[in-house]
Each structure stands twice: as C-alpha cells, then as structure tokens.
Structure 1
Amino acid sequence: MLRNLDMTLIRTFVTVADKGTMTAAANALHLTQGAVSQQVKRLEEMFGASLFERDRRGLRLTHAGERLFGKGKRLLGLNDEIWAEMAGTPVGGRVRLGVPYDLVGTLLAPVLKVYAEAYPRVEISLVCASSPELASALAAGTINLAVIEERIGPTSGECLAIDRLVWVGAKGGVASAKRPLPVSMVADTCAFRPAVLSTLGEHGLEWRTVFENGNIDATMATVRSDLAVTAWLASTVPADLDILPLEAGLPPLPNFSINLHLPEHGVSPAAQEFARHIRDGLTRRPLAA
C-alpha cells in the first residue's frame, strides 16, 4: 500500500535535528515547543522508531534518525524547488542585507555566492556595520534583514549558531603580556566591546585602546604587528593569527550567538529566500561552542 509522507512533519524533524533543541526549532518554525514535540512524536509513531535521544548536550539523532535526516533534507530541498518553479513568479527585486564586518568575508561569503546564482534577478546590497548599528537600521527599515552578533540570552531574532568569543594575537606575539593590555577594537559600537571591557574590569586588568575607527583591516594590522590583541569569534580568526590560550593570562570571554533578524512586517519574497539561504548555510556549518 502506497503511503505519503507529511512534509510538515519532515520539515519539523529536520529543523529539530539542525537546531539541536525543541526550543530552538520552535523559534525557527514559529510554533510552540509543544507543537514541535507533538509533530516529532507523530513522525516517530508513523515509522515505529525513535528519532531522537537525549544526552548531556541536548538532543541526538538515533540510528533511525540519522537515516531519515539526510534523505529528509533532500526531500525538503526538492519540495521547495518544485514550489518555486511551479509558482511561475520568479523572485526578483532588491535585498539590503546587514552583516557585521567580521562575518561578511568568512561565514557568509559562500551563502552570498549560492544565493546570487540561484536568484540572478535579485539585486543584492550589503550594509556592513557593527551589530548594534545593524539592529537600529533594521528597526528604521533601511535594511531588509540582518545577521547580528549578540550575547547569549533573550533575543527577537533566530539563533543560527553559537560561537566562542576568543582573544586573538600575533603568532608568537607578546602583546598579551603587556600592561596595561593593548586592545584593538573595530569600533566603539562593536557588539563585543561591552563584554570584553566588563571581563577585563571583573579581573582587574588595566587596558588601553590602540585602534578604534570601524576598519577591520586596520584592526587586523595592529594585531598582526603585535601592537595589540583583539577579541573575535573563533570561527572568524584568520589562519595567520593565534587564538590565545588560557596560559596567556587573559580571562575567558563569554560565548556569543549569531542571530538572524527580520523586520516584524513586510518581508519580501526575495528577503525570505535570502533568510532561508542564510539559515541553511550557517546551521549546516559547525562552529566552536
């Protein structure tokens, strides 16, 4: 007897597997946690097998879940492709995407390339700024969506990944041993600045600013020259610089989340598709946590 898969249940299952928790999946799908749990339970009842099991870090796929996950993602991709083609209305227009300086050339570069190839009729404009500035621009309606770095906690955005905020210095450098500690920040509006200065203050470490004007290349130059240290997400640290170990004597920094923010109203089809590409691209890429 032929049976049809429920695409809603498959999409929920794949989202839970991608996010790692029911809560994160519920936020991404705009559902309650209870609804997500019930949908996963229905899928497990259909297949007569458990798809997830819990461990200390959260949910983990069972053997049956692993078998379903890869095929489920391919099935969703084909479903979405068919809808896009059969709808008969090509996605076009203009999208203004807000991105922090440190993410545009690292995590988001592959996503931008794939999206541009998939939707050649969309005119893409990038707005690079600090995360607080991007949040203000989104609220003012001058950008259509934004990827924002925030301290882990309550947010109006969708958490795509969690990464470590780390101290970065020149290879074999000595700047981390100097006091007051020479610190180079991209801008005084940098999302990391409050966390960095708060941590230094809590540990009684004196510091001084070496560079601060919104230019990430110049900040990188001061670190490469061993004039200062800086703080970046672990996944964005260039290969020619070092993530400083605890032995360097600097206090550990808090984790940050990379969140996707959309306006409350009036999200265009082009922006919605861009959000989907960003979501798929970043959740597929493992980050240090």
Structure 2
Amino acid sequence: MMESCKGLPGFVWVCPQPSVDRCHRVPRQSVWQTLSFPRVYAAEMPTATDKIEQAVSTDTIKTVNFVSEREIQEYMMKETGKDRLVKMFSKNHIGGWSPEVQFIKQVTTQTALITFLITSFVGGRHAREEFVRKHQATVFSTRFRAFRSLQDSIFMKSLLDGAKWTVKVSLFTVSLLGISQSIAVYRNKSSPWEYSIGLGITAAFLKCNLGLKGMFAGGVFGTVMGLVGGTAIWGIMYALNETQEQRNYWKVQKHLEMEKASRGLLVSPETGEQLQPQPMS
C-alpha cells in the first residue's frame, strides 16, 4: 500500500500490509532510477551452491596409482636389455609399433619430405640455368617445342636430384636414430653417447666408397659431432622429462595395469568396480 505524503515532496508512505497502521517513509524514485538497471546485492554468507563451485574450482583431482612402485621396480629388475630390444621391434597386442619405432618412422618421413622439396627445387633451378647455357645457339622449330624441352629438362633434373638426396638423407636418419634408440633401449638410459656412437657409425658407413681412410675420418668426425648434438638433445629430453628411463617406467606401468585388468584385479578403491585402462599406443 503506497500513499503520497503531503507537505513532503519526493517521499511516499509505504505500508507493508494493509492491516498494519505503522508506515515508514522512503524517498520517491526518480525517472532515471526507474529506467536504469536494478541493483543486485549479493548475500554476505555463501550459499550451498557457492560452496560446491568453490570446492570444485579449488580442489585438485587426485589420481590413484593402481600399480605400486614396488611392482614396477620388480618388473624392471627382471627384464633384460635383450627383452627391451625385442619389444622395441615387435608389435603390441593391438598391432601397433613401439613408441621408439614410431618416432623413427615419423622423423624419417618428415625429413625425407622436406629434403625432397628443397633438393628438387634447387635441382630445377640448376637445370634451367644449364639448359639456357647449352642451347643459346640452338634453333628450335617452334616455340612450343623449346618450352617443352625446357620443362622436360627441369622436371627430370628435379625428380632425380630430389630422389637421390631423399634416399641418402633417409638412410642417414634411419641409421642414426635406429642405432641411438637401440643403444638407449638396451641400456635403459639416455645420454649423449648413443648419439655420438650412432652418428660415428653412420658417417663411417656413408664414406665406405672412400676406403678405410675415408671411413675412419668420417667416423671420427661423426663421433665428435654426435657428441655435441647428443648433448643438446639429451638436455632437451631431460628438461621435458622424456628420457628413456622415464619412458620405460611409464611403459611398464601401463603394461602392468593392462595385465591386472585382463585378470580382473584392477578395481577402483572407491566404487569397487573393475576398471579398464586405456590401451597402450
């Protein structure tokens, strides 16, 4: 119930209930206050919903280790370097290769593609210059035949140079990564030495056409350069926590989880339900 208060402009009488005689005086709202957005006042005491949202946003999700540290260490003590090498070059239960082999394939494919694009472009430019130099005094029957001969020369030179260097670089990459990864897997340890040995053997193999002296010189040069590059690579792997020791630890942990799940021993401690971990890639 609202009545105007005579003699007091700008104020109204407000009665909460018609049956109540006591009224209180409030200021009359202006036109601007009426058209503006209403004010919203938050409660000082948090509600139950606020507490739940705060708990979800602040609490961290804790993971449960379904395989103990002792089980992982016992499994790693039993396996040998030969066992790790066999697993490296074998397919898993879902038909996929090991992470080491996948890494070698991925790097080799990317390197081969980049090498082919670069070398074919450079070979095409050289073929164009060579064609122009050789046929300055040549008189072609038609302009189309001259243009066709130029394009054929550029295409063949680009294709041959790109294929030649792609094969060389691919063999170099597969040899370097295959040797270094095999040594790291066998030792179950990452260090600059496997890259030094891998590059030394690869460089000596690529210089086999120069005889024993060429192979020895190439091996020494590759060993030194591999040690320098391997130190940088090992530093990056250590900083990213991607060393061979850590990768093998995760692999063993996932393997033991899969074994427990297959035997029905992987059970959630909260609900008691049997869990199925994600298969290893």
User: Under a length normalisation based on structure 2, what TM-score does the superposition of the two structures give?
Assistant: 0.22
Q: Name the structure, 1 or 2, with higher relative contact order (CA <8 Å, separation 6+).
A: 1
> Which one has the largest radius of gyration?
2
Greater strand share, 1 or 2? Answer: 1
User: Under a length normalisation based on structure 1, what TM-score does the superposition of the two structures give?
Assistant: 0.22
